[in-house]
Amino acid sequence: MAGEDLRDILFLCALQNAVKHGGVPQAGAVVGMVMSAHPEFRPRAKEVAALAKEAISAVAAISSDNRVAQLQARAPEMYDAIYAKHEHRKVLPDLEFAEQGVVMRFAPNPSGPLHIGHARAAVLNDAYVKQYGGRYILRIEDTDPKRVDPDAYELVKEDIAWMGLGITETVTQSERLPLYYNLCRQLIEKGGAYVCTCDNEHFKELKQAKTACPCRDKSVGQNLSLWEKMLDHTFKEGEATVRIKTDLLHPDPAMRDFPAFRILDSPPHPKVQAHVYPLMNFSVVADDHLLGVTHVIRGKDHIANTRRQRYIYDHFGWKVPVYRHYGRMGIEGVVLSTSQMRRGINEGTYTGWDDIRLGTLRALARRGISPDAVRNAVLAIGIGDTDISFSWDNLYAENKKIVDPVANRYFFVPDPVTAQVAGAQPHTAHAMLHPGDPSAGTRTLAFEGTVLLPGREITPEVTMVRLKDLFNVKIAWNGNIPTFSYAGESLPEARAAKAPIIQWLPAQDSVNCTLLTQEGGISGACEPAVKQELGRVVQFERVGFVKIDTVGNDGVKAYFTHK
């Protein structure tokens, strides 16, 4: 093969490495890729090594965006090898009347950041919009000032961006109060609503008795006058309520003349100055109609609300969307209550909304869970109406499909003890950064006589260990005091002796590392190269996948992701 062909191969290998791992590739990684794919070049190792440096220099001169474009144009198969995704093939049930496209919405309350429970509605709606085409509306439902956290407006939008939802437009209900007021006036004119000034407890008694309150039979003109008095602050909080006319004989008391508007003065709303606010069932119907929502997917805990909302649709003569109600999803193992989370943060129990003991999406992100994994796990659950328990194992399995092919491997030694290995000459271990990807290259660990070993694995029952990628070590015990000596490099001998294969680190070349789990922190040490992985998920061998959270002079802090 001509030298020009070899240069081209080296350039493409260097380019692929740079695109996949970022930065400038190491010569050893590029040479390893070429030798693995083209063993015929092995007799020309020196030439390959020299030309690899030229290829790396050429790649280093290309901007990161152009690298991707060049790789895709010149070697599409190498590009596809990087960007091939583990897409979930779960097919959701068809939606009725969706052939011409859909308009769907995700409607969180800004009381705090989104959590794993919110992801179900968000992802299912998103999947159907992608399946049929159409619009996906993010609707911030903030007409109850008692449930509004001013910071949550941005928190929710950040969580939406993290999930990668295909939102086409965003509306905020507090900015739409004049629309709701106008529709309320129209509904009163149609005779579908009235202003009730009854004492709340007295109204409950009448409702239970299936009896109309005196306010129900007032004229349209009287009700419109009372409505204006609600708006102009004549009435105080608790003195007047707009109610929807329904069936007073309905077997469910909650369906009988339910409230649509109320007066609230405390706490003040962070975005608007208002005295009268719509309740959820009215504002939801108004917006679903005005925004053209065609399909609504939500939990079956909203079935009663769906029944209430049909009365409003019928009064206006509006078309009712297609509804799908999925079963309840129990989620154990994390805190999901917004009020409980906020209290814990204020009291110092939790470090913030992204504390890994919480079930927020930002806590999952901090642990190294991919939004694609969340999406795939939710799609696997689907929209069945059976109540289920959320499976963390399924989420972790989906995440492992994503991170395992790209996460570099490193040694982490928990609770380290120092061991002087007698009789051992200096050695250099060459460990693969990724056992399934030779192109990632290797890392080197230099043994110079003293190592760090995991303390929990050095016990009196253990008389030999195999230091992974290095050699065997015999352990002699004098009471509880061990001494260590070199025992050769034979892996078969270690296996015959049933010696455990353990992680280790050169005592002279390691970094303090704290691994934080949901159960607490583990002190240890890791390879210095881990510092280069800030913000990425790596695998600590024989421990699990972790996300490198912070790197500083005092070492590394990592969060445990999963096995």
Give the tens place of pLDDT for each residue, 312-326.
Answer: 999 999 999 999 999
Rounded to 5 degrees, what angle do the CA atoms 200, 203, 205 make? 115
Residue 403 confidence (pLDDT) above 90: yes
465 close to 413: Cβ distance less than 8 angstroms = no
Q: Which amino acid is at 455?
A: G
Provide the pLDDT confidence category of residue 33 given band limits of 50, 70 and 90. Answer: confident
Q: Tell which residue, 522, 527, 523, has the closest CA to residue 511.
A: 527
C-beta atoms surrounding 232 within 10 Å: 10
Contact 453, 507 (CB under 8 A): no
Work out the average pLDDT over 75-104: 78
pTM over 0.85: no
What local confidence, expressed as pLDDT, does residue 220 receive? 98
Q: Kindly indicate the confidence band of residue 88, based on its pLDDT and cuts at 50, 70 and 90.
A: very low
pLDDT in tens, 263-277: 999 999 999 999 999
Question: Residues 373-399: pLDDT tens digits?
Answer: 999 999 999 999 999 999 999 999 999
- Which percentage of the chain shows pLDDT scores above 70? 97
Q: With bands split at pLDDT 50, 70 and 90, how would you rate the model's confidence at 22?
A: low
Beta strands 450-454 and 505-506 are: antiparallel
pLDDT at position 89 over 70: no
What is the predicted pLDDT for the residue at 85? 47
Enter the tokens of residue 251: 């077997």
Segment among 68-82, 93-107, 161-175 with least mean pLDDT? 68-82
| Surface-to-core class of residue 327, CB atoms within 10 Å of its CB (0-12 exposed, 13-18 middle, 19+ buried) | middle
Do β-strands 134-140 and 102-106 pair in parallel, antiparallel, or remain unpaired?
A: parallel
| pLDDT tens digits, one per residue of 455-468 | 999 999 999 999 99
Contact 231, 181 (CB under 8 A): yes
What was the pLDDT predicted at 83? 59
- Distance from C-alpha of 195 to C-alpha of 225, rounded to nearest angstrom: 9
Question: For 228-271, how does the pLDDT look when each residue is reduced to its tens digit (9 = 90+)?
Answer: 999 999 999 999 999 999 999 999 999 999 999 999 999 999 99
Which percentage of the chain shows pLDDT scores above 90? 82
What separation, in Å, do the N-terminal and C-terminal C-alpha atoms of the chain show?
Answer: 45
Candidates 355, 406, 400, 348; CA nearest to 377 is 400
CA gap 115, 109 in Å, rounded: 12
Residue count of the chain: 563
